[in-house]
Amino acid sequence: MSFYLITFPSRAMRIPAEEFQDVVDASHAVVEEAKAAGVYRFGGGIDESVAPVLIGADGSRQDGAHPLRAPLDGGYTVLDLASRAEAEQWAARIAAACRCPQELYVFGDDPTS
């Protein structure tokens, strides 16, 4: 089993206001299916109203994100799955529910973390 990250940036969701609740309901339904299947580990969206903070290697604190990173926003789902093919199937279900393309990443296997 591997952990997979399924994600999309906020700007990818172009949903008319009157359809937004339908998208919320559909995405929650997929999450419930993943929970029922025992593969759901974590999900949510970045709270874009709270600014990021950068903590340095020396413990220093500075407002803002890492200068080398694009802004981090959008929605995230972490699933524990047996294969990349299965991850692609879940990503397709999430994409359909959210009505926008999803990026799929696999976490590196580090048994000590």
User: Domain map of the chain by residue range?
Assistant: 2-46+72-106
pLDDT tens string, the chain, 113 residues long: the values are: 899 999 999 999 999 999 999 999 999 999 999 999 999 999 999 999 999 999 999 999 999 999 999 889 999 999 999 999 999 999 999 999 999 999 999 999 888 87
Q: Which two tokens stand for residue 113?
A: 């973390």
Q: Which of 45, 43, 48, 14 is CA-nearest to residue 29?
A: 43
The CATH superfamily of 2-46+72-106 is: Dimeric alpha+beta barrel (3.30.70.1060)
Q: Which of 69, 71, 98, 74 is CA-nearest to residue 9?
A: 74
SS3 content of the chain, % helix, strand, coil (to 5): 35, 25, 40
